[in-house]
Amino acid sequence: MIDKAFVGRVLPRFEVLAECGAVSAFLRATAAPGCQAAQAGSQLPPTYLFCLEMQGPDPAAMRKLLGIDIGRVLHGEELFVYHAPAHVGDLLAFEPRIADIYDKRAGELEFVVRETRVWRGETAIATLRNTTVVRNG
């Protein structure tokens, strides 16, 4: 069982630049036909903050801290709450923390909720919630 004492644990803050080339590649891979390139100052796609979060120094930091085997992980859900728009060229700060740990089916499934606050300077941009499901059986 994952130790629930980790609830509230803050993971290291990091910054990521929303680079034009990477955003353009994301748009080509996911957007409607005809969408080719991002321009400096254009608004980021709604789910792109998750991609930026994965560019942090150690995307597996939470799994390592909790001792979770990647082979037992299922993707749960994601939630994006926006407070202000983010744009191509923004330098964004990510502040992740473990918001909750709970289980179902007598521990067969464990759920870890990571909440990440995203900032541009002093401006709150978004709150991201990601649920990781761990199979134990």
Task: Give residue-wise pLDDT tens across range 58-109.
Answer: 999 999 999 999 999 998 999 999 999 999 999 999 999 999 999 999 989 9
> Residue 67: which region, alpha, beta or left (left: phi > 0; alpha: psi -120 to 50)?
left
Dist CA 39 CA 7 (whole Å): 39
Of 21-30, 95-104, 113-122, where does mean pLDDT reach its minimum?
A: 21-30
* pTM, two decimal places: 0.89
Dist CA 93 CA 111 (whole Å): 25
